[in-house]
Chains A and B, each alone.
Chain A
Amino acid sequence: MEASGIRITQHPILDFPERRKVKFYWEGKELEGYEGEPIAAALHAAGIKVLHKSLKQGRPRGFFCAIGNCSSCLVVVDGVPNVRACTEKLRAGMRIEMQEGVGPVPVSKE
Protein backbone atom coordinates (compact mmCIF):
# COMPACT_ATOMS: atom_id res chain seq x y z
CA MET A 1 0.00 0.00 0.00
CA GLU A 2 1.21 3.49 -0.73
CA ALA A 3 1.23 6.18 1.96
CA SER A 4 -2.45 7.08 1.72
CA GLY A 5 -3.33 3.42 1.18
CA ILE A 6 -6.16 4.32 -1.10
CA ARG A 7 -4.66 3.25 -4.44
CA ILE A 8 -4.59 -0.50 -4.98
CA THR A 9 -1.12 -1.56 -6.06
CA GLN A 10 -1.39 -5.32 -5.47
CA HIS A 11 -4.46 -7.42 -6.11
CA PRO A 12 -4.92 -11.21 -6.19
CA ILE A 13 -6.79 -11.17 -9.52
CA LEU A 14 -6.48 -7.82 -11.25
CA ASP A 15 -3.51 -5.87 -12.60
CA PHE A 16 -3.45 -2.11 -12.52
CA PRO A 17 -0.89 -0.97 -15.07
CA GLU A 18 1.19 2.16 -14.47
CA ARG A 19 -0.38 5.23 -15.99
CA ARG A 20 0.85 8.76 -16.59
CA LYS A 21 0.57 11.06 -13.60
CA VAL A 22 -0.82 14.50 -14.34
CA LYS A 23 -1.41 17.64 -12.31
CA PHE A 24 -4.84 19.20 -12.00
CA TYR A 25 -6.55 21.72 -9.77
CA TRP A 26 -9.38 21.23 -7.28
CA GLU A 27 -10.80 24.48 -5.93
CA GLY A 28 -7.51 26.11 -6.95
CA LYS A 29 -5.35 23.55 -5.12
CA GLU A 30 -2.87 21.53 -7.16
CA LEU A 31 -3.38 17.76 -7.00
CA GLU A 32 -2.10 14.71 -8.89
CA GLY A 33 -4.04 11.94 -10.57
CA TYR A 34 -3.74 9.52 -13.46
CA GLU A 35 -4.49 10.72 -16.95
CA GLY A 36 -7.71 9.23 -18.31
CA GLU A 37 -9.16 8.04 -15.01
CA PRO A 38 -12.51 9.58 -14.03
CA ILE A 39 -12.25 12.87 -12.16
CA ALA A 40 -14.17 11.27 -9.27
CA ALA A 41 -11.55 8.50 -8.93
CA ALA A 42 -8.69 11.00 -8.91
CA LEU A 43 -10.44 13.18 -6.33
CA HIS A 44 -11.42 10.20 -4.18
CA ALA A 45 -7.80 9.00 -4.20
CA ALA A 46 -6.81 12.51 -3.10
CA GLY A 47 -9.22 12.27 -0.17
CA ILE A 48 -11.91 14.54 -1.64
CA LYS A 49 -15.43 13.21 -1.31
CA VAL A 50 -17.67 16.30 -1.40
CA LEU A 51 -18.11 17.21 -5.07
CA HIS A 52 -21.39 19.08 -5.21
CA LYS A 53 -23.81 21.04 -2.99
CA SER A 54 -27.45 20.13 -3.40
CA LEU A 55 -29.85 22.45 -5.21
CA LYS A 56 -32.24 23.45 -2.43
CA GLN A 57 -30.56 22.82 0.89
CA GLY A 58 -26.91 23.00 -0.07
CA ARG A 59 -26.22 19.57 1.39
CA PRO A 60 -22.92 17.90 0.50
CA ARG A 61 -23.03 15.39 -2.33
CA GLY A 62 -20.48 12.86 -3.56
CA PHE A 63 -20.70 10.28 -6.29
CA PHE A 64 -23.27 7.51 -5.80
CA CYS A 65 -23.47 5.26 -8.89
CA ALA A 66 -20.05 6.02 -10.43
CA ILE A 67 -21.26 5.12 -13.92
CA GLY A 68 -23.07 8.25 -15.07
CA ASN A 69 -26.65 7.38 -14.12
CA CYS A 70 -27.47 9.47 -11.08
CA SER A 71 -26.01 13.00 -11.42
CA SER A 72 -25.02 13.13 -7.75
CA CYS A 73 -21.43 14.12 -8.61
CA LEU A 74 -21.84 17.20 -10.81
CA VAL A 75 -18.80 19.50 -10.83
CA VAL A 76 -17.62 22.57 -12.75
CA VAL A 77 -14.74 21.80 -15.14
CA ASP A 78 -12.88 24.71 -16.73
CA GLY A 79 -15.95 26.91 -16.16
CA VAL A 80 -18.44 24.41 -17.59
CA PRO A 81 -21.06 23.27 -15.04
CA ASN A 82 -22.94 19.96 -14.75
CA VAL A 83 -20.00 17.75 -15.69
CA ARG A 84 -20.32 14.24 -14.22
CA ALA A 85 -17.15 13.68 -12.21
CA CYS A 86 -17.62 9.91 -12.39
CA THR A 87 -17.45 9.68 -16.17
CA GLU A 88 -15.37 12.69 -17.27
CA LYS A 89 -11.78 11.67 -17.84
CA LEU A 90 -8.96 13.52 -16.12
CA ARG A 91 -6.65 15.64 -18.29
CA ALA A 92 -3.53 17.55 -17.31
CA GLY A 93 -4.24 21.06 -16.10
CA MET A 94 -7.99 20.64 -15.60
CA ARG A 95 -9.48 23.20 -13.24
CA ILE A 96 -12.25 21.55 -11.29
CA GLU A 97 -14.55 23.29 -8.80
CA MET A 98 -17.25 22.07 -6.48
CA GLN A 99 -20.62 22.84 -8.02
CA GLU A 100 -23.18 24.72 -5.93
CA GLY A 101 -26.70 23.89 -7.07
CA VAL A 102 -27.04 24.35 -10.82
CA GLY A 103 -23.62 25.95 -11.06
CA PRO A 104 -22.53 29.06 -12.96
CA VAL A 105 -23.66 29.93 -16.48
CA PRO A 106 -20.65 29.13 -18.68
CA VAL A 107 -18.90 32.27 -19.90
CA SER A 108 -18.50 32.46 -23.66
CA LYS A 109 -14.94 33.00 -24.90
CA GLU A 110 -16.00 35.60 -27.52
Chain B
Amino acid sequence: MIRTELAIVGAGPAGVCAALEAASYGVKVTLLDREQWIGGQLVKQTHKFFGWYEKSAGTRGVVIAKDLAVKVKANPDIRFMGSTEVLGYYQADGVLLLETPQGIQTLKPERLLVATGASEKMILFPGNDLPGVYGAGAVQTLMNVHGVRPGKSVLMIGSGNIGLIVSYQMAQAGVKVAAVVEALPHIGGYAVHASKIRRLGIPIYTRHTIKEAYGTDCVEGAVIWQLDDDWQGIPGTEKQLDVDVICLATGLTPLCEFLWQAGAEMTDIPELGGFVPLYDEHMETTAKGIYVAGDAAGIEEASTAMAEGRLAGLAIAYSLGKVPDHEFSRKRQDCLKELAELRAGPTSQAILKGLAAMREQMGKQARAQTRKKVRS
Protein backbone atom coordinates (compact mmCIF):
# COMPACT_ATOMS: atom_id res chain seq x y z
CA MET B 1 0.00 0.00 0.00
CA ILE B 2 1.20 3.47 -0.92
CA ARG B 3 0.87 6.16 1.74
CA THR B 4 0.67 9.85 1.03
CA GLU B 5 -0.37 13.04 2.80
CA LEU B 6 -2.71 14.20 0.06
CA ALA B 7 -4.24 12.20 -2.78
CA ILE B 8 -5.86 14.22 -5.56
CA VAL B 9 -8.15 12.45 -8.00
CA GLY B 10 -8.06 14.35 -11.27
CA ALA B 11 -5.15 16.33 -12.75
CA GLY B 12 -7.31 18.98 -14.38
CA PRO B 13 -7.15 22.70 -13.56
CA ALA B 14 -8.61 22.26 -10.04
CA GLY B 15 -6.50 19.23 -9.08
CA VAL B 16 -3.23 20.63 -10.41
CA CYS B 17 -3.66 24.03 -8.75
CA ALA B 18 -4.48 22.29 -5.45
CA ALA B 19 -1.39 20.09 -5.82
CA LEU B 20 0.90 23.06 -6.48
CA GLU B 21 -0.56 25.08 -3.60
CA ALA B 22 -0.37 22.21 -1.07
CA ALA B 23 3.12 21.23 -2.22
CA SER B 24 4.29 24.82 -1.78
CA TYR B 25 3.84 24.17 1.98
CA GLY B 26 5.71 20.87 1.80
CA VAL B 27 2.66 18.58 1.64
CA LYS B 28 3.52 15.28 -0.06
CA VAL B 29 1.01 14.99 -2.88
CA THR B 30 0.01 12.05 -5.05
CA LEU B 31 -1.77 13.39 -8.12
CA LEU B 32 -3.82 10.81 -10.01
CA ASP B 33 -5.32 10.90 -13.48
CA ARG B 34 -6.71 8.26 -15.82
CA GLU B 35 -5.03 10.02 -18.74
CA GLN B 36 -1.28 10.07 -19.27
CA TRP B 37 -1.25 13.87 -19.46
CA ILE B 38 -1.55 16.70 -16.93
CA GLY B 39 -4.18 19.40 -17.49
CA GLY B 40 -7.44 17.49 -17.91
CA GLN B 41 -9.73 19.05 -20.48
CA LEU B 42 -7.44 22.10 -20.88
CA VAL B 43 -5.31 20.13 -23.35
CA LYS B 44 -8.23 20.28 -25.80
CA GLN B 45 -9.07 23.92 -25.41
CA THR B 46 -7.58 25.92 -28.24
CA HIS B 47 -9.49 29.07 -27.36
CA LYS B 48 -8.11 31.93 -25.30
CA PHE B 49 -9.18 32.41 -21.72
CA PHE B 50 -10.39 35.71 -20.40
CA GLY B 51 -7.38 36.62 -18.43
CA TRP B 52 -7.69 35.31 -14.92
CA TYR B 53 -4.88 32.82 -15.19
CA GLU B 54 -2.14 34.46 -13.14
CA LYS B 55 -3.24 37.82 -14.51
CA SER B 56 -2.19 36.97 -18.06
CA ALA B 57 -5.09 37.60 -20.38
CA GLY B 58 -5.67 35.73 -23.58
CA THR B 59 -3.83 32.49 -22.85
CA ARG B 60 -5.04 29.40 -24.70
CA GLY B 61 -6.14 26.37 -22.64
CA VAL B 62 -3.53 24.18 -24.36
CA VAL B 63 -0.78 26.60 -23.27
CA ILE B 64 -2.05 26.75 -19.65
CA ALA B 65 -2.01 22.93 -19.59
CA LYS B 66 1.62 22.79 -20.75
CA ASP B 67 2.64 25.39 -18.19
CA LEU B 68 0.91 23.53 -15.35
CA ALA B 69 2.50 20.24 -16.44
CA VAL B 70 6.00 21.80 -16.33
CA LYS B 71 5.36 23.11 -12.81
CA VAL B 72 4.04 19.76 -11.55
CA LYS B 73 6.95 17.80 -13.01
CA ALA B 74 9.48 20.24 -11.51
CA ASN B 75 7.98 19.88 -8.02
CA PRO B 76 9.69 17.16 -5.94
CA ASP B 77 6.76 16.99 -3.50
CA ILE B 78 4.23 15.99 -6.20
CA ARG B 79 4.15 12.47 -7.51
CA PHE B 80 2.08 12.35 -10.70
CA MET B 81 0.57 8.95 -11.49
CA GLY B 82 -0.87 9.10 -15.01
CA SER B 83 -2.80 6.39 -16.89
CA THR B 84 -4.10 5.48 -13.45
CA GLU B 85 -7.78 4.93 -12.89
CA VAL B 86 -9.16 5.24 -9.37
CA LEU B 87 -11.60 2.34 -9.17
CA GLY B 88 -13.18 3.15 -5.84
CA TYR B 89 -12.92 4.50 -2.35
CA TYR B 90 -13.16 2.19 0.66
CA GLN B 91 -14.78 4.29 3.35
CA ALA B 92 -14.02 2.08 6.36
CA ASP B 93 -10.28 2.04 5.68
CA GLY B 94 -9.94 5.37 3.86
CA VAL B 95 -8.24 3.56 1.00
CA LEU B 96 -8.34 4.22 -2.75
CA LEU B 97 -8.07 1.30 -5.15
CA LEU B 98 -6.00 2.16 -8.23
CA GLU B 99 -5.56 0.49 -11.59
CA THR B 100 -2.09 1.57 -12.69
CA PRO B 101 -0.04 0.51 -15.72
CA GLN B 102 1.82 -1.75 -13.24
CA GLY B 103 -1.37 -3.37 -11.99
CA ILE B 104 -3.74 -2.93 -9.06
CA GLN B 105 -2.46 -0.87 -6.12
CA THR B 106 -3.92 0.63 -2.98
CA LEU B 107 -3.32 4.15 -1.72
CA LYS B 108 -4.01 5.48 1.77
CA PRO B 109 -3.95 9.26 1.98
CA GLU B 110 -4.31 11.47 5.06
CA ARG B 111 -6.43 13.88 3.02
CA LEU B 112 -8.35 13.30 -0.20
CA LEU B 113 -9.29 15.89 -2.78
CA VAL B 114 -11.90 14.92 -5.36
CA ALA B 115 -11.32 17.01 -8.48
CA THR B 116 -12.96 14.66 -10.96
CA GLY B 117 -14.71 17.25 -13.11
CA ALA B 118 -17.94 16.65 -14.96
CA SER B 119 -19.75 14.56 -17.52
CA GLU B 120 -22.08 15.61 -20.30
CA LYS B 121 -25.83 15.73 -20.04
CA MET B 122 -27.99 13.95 -22.59
CA ILE B 123 -31.28 15.35 -23.88
CA LEU B 124 -34.31 13.40 -25.09
CA PHE B 125 -35.24 13.12 -28.76
CA PRO B 126 -35.97 10.20 -31.08
CA GLY B 127 -32.71 8.77 -32.40
CA ASN B 128 -30.55 10.26 -29.63
CA ASP B 129 -28.75 6.92 -29.26
CA LEU B 130 -27.60 6.71 -32.90
CA PRO B 131 -23.87 6.63 -33.54
CA GLY B 132 -23.04 10.15 -34.70
CA VAL B 133 -24.71 11.78 -31.70
CA TYR B 134 -21.68 12.92 -29.71
CA GLY B 135 -21.05 15.05 -26.66
CA ALA B 136 -19.32 18.36 -27.39
CA GLY B 137 -16.38 17.23 -25.25
CA ALA B 138 -16.12 14.06 -27.32
CA VAL B 139 -15.89 16.07 -30.53
CA GLN B 140 -13.25 18.29 -28.94
CA THR B 141 -11.26 15.24 -27.84
CA LEU B 142 -11.50 13.52 -31.21
CA MET B 143 -10.41 16.65 -33.13
CA ASN B 144 -7.99 18.45 -30.88
CA VAL B 145 -6.25 15.52 -29.21
CA HIS B 146 -6.46 12.75 -31.79
CA GLY B 147 -6.62 14.83 -34.98
CA VAL B 148 -9.73 13.13 -36.35
CA ARG B 149 -12.69 15.12 -37.70
CA PRO B 150 -16.05 14.10 -36.25
CA GLY B 151 -17.73 14.07 -39.66
CA LYS B 152 -18.59 16.21 -42.66
CA SER B 153 -21.47 18.32 -41.42
CA VAL B 154 -22.60 18.96 -37.87
CA LEU B 155 -25.67 20.17 -36.03
CA MET B 156 -24.73 21.75 -32.69
CA ILE B 157 -27.36 21.63 -29.93
CA GLY B 158 -26.84 24.39 -27.39
CA SER B 159 -25.37 27.89 -27.63
CA GLY B 160 -23.71 28.12 -24.25
CA ASN B 161 -19.96 28.81 -24.29
CA ILE B 162 -19.12 25.14 -24.93
CA GLY B 163 -21.50 24.92 -27.91
CA LEU B 164 -20.15 28.14 -29.39
CA ILE B 165 -16.48 27.38 -28.77
CA VAL B 166 -16.65 23.82 -30.09
CA SER B 167 -18.54 25.07 -33.18
CA TYR B 168 -15.68 27.49 -33.82
CA GLN B 169 -13.11 24.75 -33.23
CA MET B 170 -14.88 22.54 -35.78
CA ALA B 171 -14.72 25.35 -38.31
CA GLN B 172 -10.98 25.71 -37.53
CA ALA B 173 -10.56 22.00 -38.20
CA GLY B 174 -12.35 22.25 -41.54
CA VAL B 175 -15.67 20.71 -40.47
CA LYS B 176 -18.91 22.30 -41.70
CA VAL B 177 -21.26 23.41 -38.94
CA ALA B 178 -24.73 23.42 -40.50
CA ALA B 179 -26.44 25.19 -37.61
CA VAL B 180 -26.46 25.86 -33.89
CA VAL B 181 -29.85 25.53 -32.17
CA GLU B 182 -30.74 27.03 -28.81
CA ALA B 183 -33.98 26.36 -26.94
CA LEU B 184 -33.79 29.64 -25.02
CA PRO B 185 -34.93 32.88 -26.70
CA HIS B 186 -31.35 34.18 -26.54
CA ILE B 187 -27.81 32.93 -27.08
CA GLY B 188 -26.48 31.35 -23.88
CA GLY B 189 -22.74 32.04 -24.17
CA TYR B 190 -20.59 35.16 -24.41
CA ALA B 191 -21.25 37.52 -27.33
CA VAL B 192 -17.56 37.37 -28.32
CA HIS B 193 -17.83 33.61 -29.03
CA ALA B 194 -21.20 33.97 -30.79
CA SER B 195 -19.85 36.75 -33.03
CA LYS B 196 -16.89 34.60 -34.07
CA ILE B 197 -19.10 31.83 -35.41
CA ARG B 198 -21.66 34.22 -36.92
CA ARG B 199 -18.86 35.89 -38.87
CA LEU B 200 -18.18 32.47 -40.40
CA GLY B 201 -21.79 32.37 -41.61
CA ILE B 202 -22.94 29.66 -39.18
CA PRO B 203 -26.62 30.28 -38.36
CA ILE B 204 -27.72 30.29 -34.71
CA TYR B 205 -31.41 29.48 -34.34
CA THR B 206 -32.73 30.59 -30.95
CA ARG B 207 -36.06 29.21 -29.68
CA HIS B 208 -35.29 26.05 -31.70
CA THR B 209 -34.48 22.50 -30.75
CA ILE B 210 -33.93 19.14 -32.37
CA LYS B 211 -37.12 17.20 -33.19
CA GLU B 212 -35.43 13.99 -34.23
CA ALA B 213 -32.27 12.38 -35.53
CA TYR B 214 -32.70 9.85 -38.31
CA GLY B 215 -30.62 7.19 -39.99
CA THR B 216 -30.44 3.41 -40.23
CA ASP B 217 -27.20 2.59 -38.41
CA CYS B 218 -25.79 6.10 -37.92
CA VAL B 219 -26.98 9.68 -38.07
CA GLU B 220 -27.94 10.58 -41.64
CA GLY B 221 -29.81 13.78 -40.84
CA ALA B 222 -31.73 15.78 -38.30
CA VAL B 223 -34.96 17.72 -38.10
CA ILE B 224 -35.06 20.92 -36.05
CA TRP B 225 -38.10 22.99 -35.21
CA GLN B 226 -39.16 26.16 -33.46
CA LEU B 227 -40.42 26.17 -29.87
CA ASP B 228 -43.41 28.07 -28.54
CA ASP B 229 -43.47 29.84 -25.16
CA ASP B 230 -44.38 26.54 -23.44
CA TRP B 231 -41.28 24.86 -24.91
CA GLN B 232 -43.43 22.80 -27.33
CA GLY B 233 -42.40 22.33 -30.96
CA ILE B 234 -44.49 24.25 -33.49
CA PRO B 235 -45.73 22.01 -36.33
CA GLY B 236 -44.94 23.43 -39.75
CA THR B 237 -41.65 25.05 -38.62
CA GLU B 238 -39.54 21.93 -39.22
CA LYS B 239 -36.24 22.24 -41.09
CA GLN B 240 -34.39 19.21 -42.33
CA LEU B 241 -30.60 19.28 -42.05
CA ASP B 242 -28.30 17.01 -43.97
CA VAL B 243 -25.81 16.23 -41.19
CA ASP B 244 -23.81 13.16 -40.16
CA VAL B 245 -22.99 14.43 -36.65
CA ILE B 246 -25.21 15.86 -33.93
CA CYS B 247 -23.18 17.45 -31.20
CA LEU B 248 -24.71 17.94 -27.76
CA ALA B 249 -23.61 20.93 -25.70
CA THR B 250 -26.57 20.84 -23.37
CA GLY B 251 -24.80 21.15 -20.09
CA LEU B 252 -22.60 19.22 -17.71
CA THR B 253 -23.20 17.45 -14.45
CA PRO B 254 -20.65 16.95 -11.63
CA LEU B 255 -18.83 13.61 -11.52
CA CYS B 256 -19.08 12.77 -7.84
CA GLU B 257 -19.10 8.98 -7.48
CA PHE B 258 -16.22 8.97 -4.97
CA LEU B 259 -18.05 11.42 -2.77
CA TRP B 260 -21.17 9.26 -2.78
CA GLN B 261 -18.96 6.28 -1.90
CA ALA B 262 -17.25 8.27 0.83
CA GLY B 263 -20.62 9.03 2.43
CA ALA B 264 -20.46 12.80 1.86
CA GLU B 265 -23.83 14.57 2.10
CA MET B 266 -25.03 15.31 -1.42
CA THR B 267 -27.74 17.65 -2.64
CA ASP B 268 -29.44 18.33 -5.97
CA ILE B 269 -28.89 21.94 -7.06
CA PRO B 270 -29.91 22.57 -10.69
CA GLU B 271 -27.87 25.81 -10.90
CA LEU B 272 -24.72 23.80 -10.13
CA GLY B 273 -25.51 21.04 -12.64
CA GLY B 274 -27.19 18.39 -10.45
CA PHE B 275 -26.03 16.54 -7.36
CA VAL B 276 -23.12 18.24 -5.61
CA PRO B 277 -21.53 17.64 -2.22
CA LEU B 278 -22.16 20.01 0.67
CA TYR B 279 -18.85 21.70 1.46
CA ASP B 280 -17.59 24.42 3.78
CA GLU B 281 -15.45 27.52 3.20
CA HIS B 282 -12.33 25.32 3.19
CA MET B 283 -13.81 23.15 0.37
CA GLU B 284 -14.13 20.28 2.87
CA THR B 285 -17.17 18.02 2.45
CA THR B 286 -19.17 16.53 5.33
CA ALA B 287 -16.92 13.46 5.04
CA LYS B 288 -14.03 14.48 7.30
CA GLY B 289 -10.73 14.98 5.49
CA ILE B 290 -12.33 14.75 2.04
CA TYR B 291 -12.29 17.91 -0.03
CA VAL B 292 -13.74 18.90 -3.39
CA ALA B 293 -12.83 21.48 -6.04
CA GLY B 294 -13.66 22.37 -9.64
CA ASP B 295 -16.63 21.09 -11.61
CA ALA B 296 -17.15 18.20 -9.15
CA ALA B 297 -18.23 20.89 -6.66
CA GLY B 298 -20.61 22.52 -9.16
CA ILE B 299 -20.32 23.31 -12.86
CA GLU B 300 -18.44 26.54 -13.58
CA GLU B 301 -15.38 27.05 -15.75
CA ALA B 302 -11.64 26.50 -15.64
CA SER B 303 -10.67 29.82 -14.03
CA THR B 304 -12.92 29.23 -11.02
CA ALA B 305 -11.78 25.59 -10.89
CA MET B 306 -8.17 26.81 -10.56
CA ALA B 307 -9.08 29.27 -7.80
CA GLU B 308 -11.08 26.61 -5.93
CA GLY B 309 -8.16 24.21 -6.32
CA ARG B 310 -5.76 26.73 -4.77
CA LEU B 311 -8.18 27.30 -1.87
CA ALA B 312 -8.56 23.55 -1.27
CA GLY B 313 -4.78 23.01 -1.47
CA LEU B 314 -4.20 25.81 1.02
CA ALA B 315 -6.88 24.56 3.42
CA ILE B 316 -5.52 21.00 3.26
CA ALA B 317 -1.98 22.19 4.00
CA TYR B 318 -3.40 24.19 6.93
CA SER B 319 -5.33 21.18 8.25
CA LEU B 320 -2.05 19.24 8.23
CA GLY B 321 -0.49 21.94 10.38
CA LYS B 322 1.81 23.29 7.65
CA VAL B 323 0.51 26.84 7.34
CA PRO B 324 0.75 29.46 10.12
CA ASP B 325 -2.65 30.84 11.19
CA HIS B 326 -2.06 34.43 10.03
CA GLU B 327 -0.76 33.35 6.63
CA PHE B 328 -3.68 30.98 6.18
CA SER B 329 -6.30 33.61 6.89
CA ARG B 330 -4.60 36.15 4.60
CA LYS B 331 -4.21 33.71 1.69
CA ARG B 332 -7.68 32.33 2.18
CA GLN B 333 -9.08 35.86 1.87
CA ASP B 334 -7.11 36.27 -1.38
CA CYS B 335 -8.64 33.07 -2.78
CA LEU B 336 -12.16 34.06 -1.73
CA LYS B 337 -11.68 37.52 -3.24
CA GLU B 338 -10.52 36.00 -6.52
CA LEU B 339 -13.52 33.65 -6.59
CA ALA B 340 -15.88 36.57 -5.88
CA GLU B 341 -14.32 38.54 -8.76
CA LEU B 342 -14.63 35.58 -11.13
CA ARG B 343 -18.30 35.25 -10.18
CA ALA B 344 -19.11 38.96 -10.44
CA GLY B 345 -20.51 38.92 -13.99
CA PRO B 346 -24.19 38.71 -14.90
CA THR B 347 -23.77 35.12 -16.18
CA SER B 348 -22.71 34.02 -12.68
CA GLN B 349 -25.99 34.99 -11.01
CA ALA B 350 -27.37 31.44 -11.24
CA ILE B 351 -24.11 30.02 -9.84
CA LEU B 352 -24.27 32.39 -6.86
CA LYS B 353 -27.88 31.39 -6.21
CA GLY B 354 -26.90 27.70 -6.36
CA LEU B 355 -23.93 28.23 -4.04
CA ALA B 356 -26.13 30.10 -1.55
CA ALA B 357 -28.61 27.18 -1.55
CA MET B 358 -25.76 24.71 -0.97
CA ARG B 359 -24.34 26.80 1.90
CA GLU B 360 -27.74 27.09 3.54
CA GLN B 361 -28.04 23.31 3.60
CA MET B 362 -24.46 23.01 4.82
CA GLY B 363 -25.32 25.38 7.69
CA LYS B 364 -28.37 23.32 8.64
CA GLN B 365 -26.28 20.16 8.52
CA ALA B 366 -23.59 21.69 10.77
CA ARG B 367 -26.21 22.90 13.29
CA ALA B 368 -27.83 19.44 13.36
CA GLN B 369 -24.40 17.88 14.01
CA THR B 370 -23.81 20.27 16.91
CA ARG B 371 -27.20 19.41 18.46
CA LYS B 372 -26.41 15.70 18.13
CA LYS B 373 -23.08 16.20 19.93
CA VAL B 374 -24.70 18.20 22.71
CA ARG B 375 -27.30 15.48 23.31
CA SER B 376 -24.86 12.56 23.40
Q: Give me the interface of A with B, judged by CB distance under 8 Å.
A: 1, 5-9, 11-14, 16, 37-38, 40-41, 44-45, 49-51, 54, 59-70, 86-87
Contact of A67 among B130, B141, B148, B149 (CB under 8 A): B141
Chain B residues with CB under 8 A of A1: 174
Distance A50 CA – B144 CA, assembled complex (angstroms): 22
Interface hub of A38, A66, A86 (most chain B Cβ within 10 A): A66
Nearest CB of chain B from residue A5's CB, rounded to whole Å:
7
A64 adjacent to B135 (CB under 8 Å): yes
Query: Is B173 interfacial (CB 8 A cutoff)?
Result: yes
Q: Within 8 Å CB of A11, what residues of B?
A: 147, 172-173
Which one of A8, A12, A38, A64 contacts B143 once the chains associate, using CB atoms below 8 Å? Answer: A8
Most B-side CB within 10 Å, residue of A9, A13, A37, A54 = A13
- Say whether A66 contacts B137, CB under 8 Å: yes
The one of B135, B173, B217 in contact with A8, judged by C-beta atoms closer than 8 angstroms, is: B173
A63 → B minimal CB distance (Å): 6
Closest to A57 in B: B129
Which residues of A sit under 8 angstroms from B255, Cβ to Cβ? 69
| Distance A49 CA – B25 CA, assembled complex (angstroms) | 49
What is the distance, in angstroms, from B212's C-beta to the closest C-beta of chain A? 15
Contacting pair A60 B62 (CB below 8 A): no
B129 touches A66 (CB 8 A): no
Tell me if A's interface is mostly helix, strand, loop or mixed: loop
Q: Which residues of B contact A51 (CB under 8 A)?
A: 131
What residues of chain B lie closer than 8 Å to A44, measured between beta carbons?
142, 148, 150
Contact partner of A61 (CB less than 8 A), chosen from B129, B134, B138, B144, is B129
Partner of A59, one of B34, B60, B129, B173: B129
7 A-B pairs closest in CB distance: A62-B131, A66-B138, A16-B147, A49-B131, A41-B146, A8-B147, A66-B141
Per the 8 Å Cβ criterion, residues 130-163 of B in contact with A are 130-135, 137-139, 141-144, 146-150, 152
Chain B nearest CB, measured from A82 CB (Å): 14
Q: Is B119 an interface residue (CB 8 A)?
A: yes
Task: Kindly state the separation between the CA atoms of A44 and B143 in the bound complex, as whole angstroms.
Answer: 11
Which residue of A5, A37, A49 is within 8 Å of B146 (Cβ)? A37
Instruction: Count chain B residues whose beta carbon lies closer than 8 angstroms to a beta carbon of A.
Output: 33
Write out the residue numbers on chain A whose beta carbons fall within 8 Å of the beta carbon of B141: 66-67
Contact B134 A66 (CB under 8 A): yes
Nearest Cβ on chain B to A25's Cβ, whole angstroms: 19
Selected A-B contacts with CB under 8 Å, 15 pairs: A8-B149, A12-B172, A13-B62, A14-B46, A14-B147, A37-B146, A50-B218, A51-B131, A61-B131, A62-B134, A62-B218, A63-B131, A63-B134, A64-B135, A64-B138
Contact in complex: B135, A54 (CB < 8 Å): no
Q: Which of chain B's residues have a CB closer than 8 A to the CB of A40? A: 142
Nearest A-chain residue to B40, judged by Cβ: A67
CB atoms of B34 and A45 under 8 A apart: no
**How distant is the Cα of A63 from the Cα of B218 in the complex, in angstroms?**
11
Interface membership of chain B positions 148-191, coded 1 if the CB is closer than 8 angstroms to chain A and 0 otherwise:
11101000000000000000000011100000000000000000
B120 within 8 A of A: yes
Q: How far is the CA of A62 from the CA of B110 in the complex (A)?
A: 41
CB contacts under 8 Å to A, within B252-294, are 255
> Within the assembled complex, what's the spacing in Å between the Cα atoms of A86 and B145?
12
B217 x A65 contact (CB < 8 A): no
Complex CA gap A8/B131 in Å reads 21
Q: CB-CB < 8 A to B137: which residues of A?
A: 65-67
Q: Are B138 and A67 in contact (CB under 8 A)?
A: yes
Q: Which residues from chain B contact A60 at a C-beta distance below 8 Å? A: 130-131, 217-218
Contact B218 A70 (CB under 8 A): no
**Chain A residue at minimal CB-CB distance from B175:** A8
The reply to whether B218 and A6 contact each other, CB–CB distance below 8 Å, is no
- By a CB distance below 8 angstroms, the chain B residues around A50 are 131, 217-218
Among candidates A9, A16, A66, residue contacting B142 with C-beta atoms closer than 8 Å: A66
Q: Complex Cα distance A60/B129, Å? A: 8
> In the bound complex, do residue B174 and residue A45 qualify as a contact, i.e. CB atoms below 8 Å apart?
no
Inter-chain CA distance A8–B137, complex, in Å, is 17
